[in-house]
Chain A
């Protein structure tokens, strides 16, 4: 068992090194190259007959904000949901290729999705708090992972809510139903809920698409703060948002990665004409 894991790991390490090298060679990076948290290799994904993701190769960097943009149906949501295997909730999904997360292939069936999703938090398109109190929402994750101590839980609640910059707004009504909060507050609560299990990565699937501009701005500021401690991957429909908050941007089209580079490069000097067309609003 352990030897197997080791050999696998060494293979993964090699592949990681090679991609890192490629990365260095292909992009004239002036951003300091940090560690790579997710390394996607030749990922293909089918929904029954539909080929939704085609030969995806992407390396996602630690403690950065990676934005994924593209028109509807381009596979960007599918991709982010593959990163924590939520995509498997759809029956009939098949994948080939590998996604290495901390040097382990998460698409391997022996990789426990529960472990993966504990280390990789997710924030959804529509705020989806549980119909419970604010407190219960936050402690949901810790509790299912066996943390029962009341003092610890209290502490987690405060830390998480502070981390999501919503503590001051809700500290006096922790026992009230989360549905009493505004949409923007609900979304920040959902972020706090994801923080409660101290993940390494936070996946955000169009987290502001259901929010008003003011709440959107708050979430964007929050994302900037969070990237100090977390690697963040955000799918967005809104190109300005990607330009504002991300360090790197991947442009998806028809299930393929057209271009992946530093955000500045993508938005000022894209190398693919399709990226330019999309960014300048010619389609999508």
Chain B
């Protein structure tokens, strides 16, 4: 016991301290649950509002001003087409950059300059990428607001995410594997292609799916590119105009003050979008767990 303090005083103080600890523990737990609580409300709200609107006609139908007949096939196809651009572009540039930074670049000023630049790019608001796309792809390259322009813009947007995750994946490949390869007389590129990349592939795929799902949900850059939600024909190639799921949600939400049913259509489209993202993320987790290597 501390001599300078009265024993009973100390004990009541102790009780108070212990009680404070318990009370705050509960508060901390509630704070953690708060986010999940909002998430639950959001999902319940969206599902209750939109679920009954989802049927085959909705999924496969064309856009219409008549809420009862409106479908999202065009937006779905647009999203898929854009992904056809985003996936190869980000994979090639992202994995290539990661290999360069991790395995070829000499540790020094230039390498740290590129890495700092990448982390700064990751913090640039997505709408700024929209302006870049508008200026460079839509206007300067004169592509117009087509699939290719949208895809390239989104690809640049998610590129930093992919590079960083690919770098981590490559760094996680143990050095003794590449040593074994070098010891057999393999060249650097042979070692990278036959040992490092195969070992890093599951993590790279996981990272790229996560980057992809970010691109799928992104809206702001598309609004800047001037992607319409009008009655346009289904996109059939890289140079066709298109709309995408998030754009569809955006316009229906905005116009819900004019036509109340549009809010339900927006909710239904959100469900489709969230299911799509959920499936993608499940695949990512599956790949990570299934192919995780034991070294």
A240-B195 Cα distance, complex, nearest whole Å:
36
A137-B185 Cα distance, complex, nearest whole Å:
14
Binary A-proximity of B92-116 (CB < 8 A = 1, otherwise 0): 0000000000000011000000000
Asked if residues B179 and A197 are in contact (CB atoms below 8 Å), the reply is: no
Tell me, rounded to whole Å, the shortest Cβ–Cβ distance linking B171 to chain A: 15
Tell me, rounded to whole Å, the shortest Cβ–Cβ distance linking A233 to chain B: 13
Residue of A130, A179, A194 most packed against chain B (CB within 10 A)? A130
A144-B185 Cα distance, complex, nearest whole Å:
8
Q: Which of B30-38, B140-148, B186-194 contacts A (4 or more CB under 8 A)?
A: B186-194
Asked if residues A131 and B199 are in contact (CB atoms below 8 Å), the reply is: yes
Q: Which applies to chain B's interface (DSSP): helix, strand, loop or mixed?
A: helix
A154 interface residue, CB < 8 Å from B?
no
Given A130-B195, A131-B295, A179-B294; A144-B184 close (CB under 8 Å)? yes
Given A131-B199, A140-B194; A89-B184 close (CB under 8 Å)? no
A8 interface residue, CB < 8 Å from B?
no
Q: Which applies to chain A's interface (DSSP): helix, strand, loop or mixed?
A: helix
A193 interface residue, CB < 8 Å from B?
yes
A162-B136 Cα distance, complex, nearest whole Å:
63
A86-B182 Cα distance, complex, nearest whole Å:
8
Residues of B within 8 A of A86 (CB): 179, 182-183
B293 interface residue, CB < 8 Å from A?
yes
Asked if residues B180 and A190 are in contact (CB atoms below 8 Å), the reply is: yes
Tell me, rounded to whole Å, the shortest Cβ–Cβ distance linking A112 to chain B: 9
Given A128-B177, A130-B195; A121-B186 close (CB under 8 Å)? no
Q: Which residue of A lies closest to B107 (CB)?
A: A91
Asked if residues B176 and A117 are in contact (CB atoms below 8 Å), the reply is: no
Tell me, rounded to whole Å, the shortest Cβ–Cβ distance linking A65 to chain B: 19
A108 interface residue, CB < 8 Å from B?
no
A113-B186 Cα distance, complex, nearest whole Å:
9
> Which range contains the number of B residues in contact with the other chain?
20 to 34
A114-B189 Cα distance, complex, nearest whole Å:
12
A261-B195 Cα distance, complex, nearest whole Å:
40
Residue of B107, B176, B180, B295 most packed against chain A (CB within 10 A)? B180
Given A140-B194, A144-B194, A179-B294; A124-B180 close (CB under 8 Å)? yes
Tell me, rounded to whole Å, the shortest Cβ–Cβ distance linking B288 to chain A: 15
B181 interface residue, CB < 8 Å from A?
yes
A126 interface residue, CB < 8 Å from B?
yes
Asked if residues A130 and B184 are in contact (CB atoms below 8 Å), the reply is: no
Asked if residues B195 and A114 are in contact (CB atoms below 8 Å), the reply is: no
Residue of B184, B190, B198 most packed against chain A (CB within 10 A)? B184
A89, A117, A131: the one within 8 Å of B185 (CB):
A117
Residue of B107, B176, B183, B190 most packed against chain A (CB within 10 A)? B183
A220-B174 Cα distance, complex, nearest whole Å:
27
Asked if residues B183 and A194 are in contact (CB atoms below 8 Å), the reply is: yes
A141-B194 Cα distance, complex, nearest whole Å:
11
A114-B180 Cα distance, complex, nearest whole Å:
13
Residues of B within 8 A of A144 (CB): 181, 184-187, 190, 194
A131-B106 Cα distance, complex, nearest whole Å:
28
Tell me, rounded to whole Å, the shortest Cβ–Cβ distance linking B28 to chain A: 42
A89-B180 Cα distance, complex, nearest whole Å:
12
A84 interface residue, CB < 8 Å from B?
yes
Residues of B within 8 A of A194 (CB): 183-184
Residues of A within 8 A of B180 (CB): 124, 128-130, 190, 193
Tell me, rounded to whole Å, the shortest Cβ–Cβ distance linking A80 to chain B: 11
Asked if residues A197 and B199 are in contact (CB atoms below 8 Å), the reply is: no
B106, B177, B185: the one within 8 Å of A145 (CB):
B185
A277 interface residue, CB < 8 Å from B?
no
A115 interface residue, CB < 8 Å from B?
yes
Asked if residues B176 and A126 are in contact (CB atoms below 8 Å), the reply is: yes
Residue of A117, A124, A128, A143 most packed against chain B (CB within 10 A)? A128
A66 interface residue, CB < 8 Å from B?
no
Residues of B within 8 A of A89 (CB): 179, 182
Tell me, rounded to whole Å, the shortest Cβ–Cβ distance linking A37 to chain B: 17
Binary A-proximity of B275-295 (CB < 8 A = 1, otherwise 0): 000000000000000000111
Within 8 A of A (CB), among B45-91: none
Tell me, rounded to whole Å, the shortest Cβ–Cβ distance linking B83 to chain A: 30
Asked if residues B185 and A141 are in contact (CB atoms below 8 Å), the reply is: yes
Residues of A within 8 A of B198 (CB): 131-132
Supplied contacts A121-B183, A128-B180, A144-B187, 15 more A-B pairs, CB within 8 Å: A89-B182, A113-B185, A114-B185, A117-B182, A124-B179, A128-B176, A128-B179, A129-B180, A130-B181, A131-B293, A140-B184, A144-B184, A190-B180, A193-B180, A193-B184
B contact residues vs A (CB 8 Å cutoff): 106-107, 174, 176-177, 179-187, 190, 194-195, 198-199, 293-295
| Chain A to chain B contacts (Cβ below 8 Å), 9 pairs | A114-B185, A114-B187, A116-B185, A117-B183, A128-B174, A128-B179, A130-B195, A131-B198, A197-B185
